[in-house]
Amino acid sequence: MSTAFLSERVLGIAPSPSVAANALVTELRAQGRDIVNFTVGEPDFDTPTHILHAARLAMESGDTHYTATTGTLALRQAICLKLSRDNDLVYGLDEVVAGCGGKHIIYHALAATLNRGDEVIVHTPYWVSYPDMTRLNDATPVIIPGDEHQGFKLSPEALEQAITPRTKWVILNSPNNPSGAVYSEAELLALALVLRAHPHVLVMADEIYEHFVYGNARHVPLTRLAPDLKPRTLIINGASKGYAMTGWRLGFGAGPAWLIAAIGKLLSQTTTCPSSLSQAAAVAAFAGEQAPITAMRDEYVRRRALMLERLAGIPGVSVTPPDGAFYVFANVSGLMGKLTPQGDPLESDTQLVEYLLREYGLATVSGAAYGMSPYVRLSFASAPDVIEEGCRRLRDACHDLR
């Protein structure tokens, strides 16, 4: 296909690696391949019944028209309620905006604020879209390398060193995709101390996995610990992960009114508003019965334990147990340099991912997609029998290397 008509910004990015990996699984299964899918970044649970009922009622009552660009009044009220109930944060109706997924709000927030020459600080391992969304808005992602020995977390020293007069945003993702890292109160306060000294820097707090934390870890919003940063912090969240509503495409942002208004202006020229039915469903999610979240989290606790148990002892693979989200970010440095049964050397995690899929029907995502190698991301948002089979295939694949 000719690229003559394509823009430089489109040619300068790649499709989302995680989306592409899951699409490949669908394609291979359609060809009759037996594939165990560890790429999936969504709950395998059905959307809770009371949420479905709310959407059905909205449909039957004719709630199928355009809404306010930033979301219906009922939805924005529900978002404010959720922030108060779950996070002890107070936001006004003009400080929240709904969009077609959290990704939608992230992109529009960057589009509303970035100019050519601006910088966005991103710490590895990062969610795959942060750097490319930055590039799409003519800014430069400043990548801070992560360290597994520091729990995959951004240190205040590294943050201080990366900030320049051109820094516009720092993106913090906790619980983190792909590492599962969750920042403690002390760690967030240390980062807040640095940010406090740089009032020209905005903070994007991506908290989409907030409901899924394990063991002694606790999710605490940065703005609750450092309320003075609230006027320049945008919280990203949504219904996708916590309520098993990925296909409903409903996310939200909570931040200063000036930024929310700017995002709303862009939305009015792009998507107009989220689906009215998805908004009605999200009202029931955020303001209604919360027991399904607890049930899902309890199941993830069991699945996490199962995956960690089955990964233990696999040659060349080591794991830092995740404190949140539903992924294991496995260190595969011990496999680099080994030969496949066909005699091909494994020189990167990308080659390892290809080997696992080609020879063993196990789909994973390379650490390179998240800016940190050699690792692979393994999702435990799958049924226990899928986790068992996938880990068995991984073990066999590693044993067969020489």
Return the C-alpha torsion angle 67, 72, 73, 78, nearest 10: 170
Q: Distance between CA atoms of 91 and 254, rounded to whole angstroms?
A: 7
Residue 315 lies in a domain: yes
Residue 178 inside a domain? The answer is: yes
Decide if 1 is inside a domain: no
Find the radius of gyration of the CA atoms of the chain: 21
- Does residue 3 form part of some domain? no
pLDDT 10s digits, 137-157: 999 999 999 999 999 999 999
Whether 133 and 28 map to the same domain: the answer is no
Task: Let me know: does 77 contact 93? Beta carbons within 8 Å.
Answer: yes
Do 164 and 256 share a structural domain? yes
Mean pLDDT value across residues 33-52: 93
338, 239: one domain: no
Same domain, 318 and 234: no
Cis peptide leading into residue 321 (ω within 30°): no
- N- to C-terminal Cα separation, the chain: 41
| Mean pLDDT score, 181-200 | 98
Q: What is the CATH number of the domain that holds 321?
A: 3.90.1150.10
Q: State whether 25 and 71 are in the same domain.
A: no
DSSP 276-342: HHHHHHHHHHHHS--HHHHHHHHHHHHHHHHHHHHHTT-TT-EE---SBTTEEEEE-GGGTT-B-TT
Q: What is the pLDDT of residue 24?
A: 81
Which of 22 and 37 is assigned the larger pLDDT? 37
CATH code for position 126? 3.40.640.10
Q: Domain ends where: 228, 263, 288?
A: 288
pLDDT tens per residue across span 79-128: 999 999 999 999 999 999 999 999 999 999 999 999 999 999 999 999 99
Q: Are residues 30 and 59 in the same domain?
A: no
Residue 363, domain extent: 8-46+292-399
Do residues 139 and 257 share a domain? yes
Q: Do 175 and 238 fall into the same domain? A: yes
- Is 314 among the domain residues? yes
For 110, the token pair is: 């960057």
Q: How far is 244 from 319, CA to CA, in rounded Å?
A: 26
pTM confidence score: 0.95
Q: Which of 358, 363, 311, 394 is nearest to 36 (CA)?
A: 363
Query: Which of 268, 288, 308 is at the close of a domain?
Result: 288
Q: Both 260 and 298 in a single domain?
A: no
- Does residue 3 register a pLDDT over 90? no
Does residue 214 share a domain with residue 128?
yes
Q: CA–CA separation, 109 vs 270, rounded Å?
A: 13
Cβ partners under 8 Å of residue 70, min gap 6: 76, 96, 97, 98, 260, 263, 264, 267, 273
Number of domains in the chain: 2
Residues 103, 239: one domain? yes
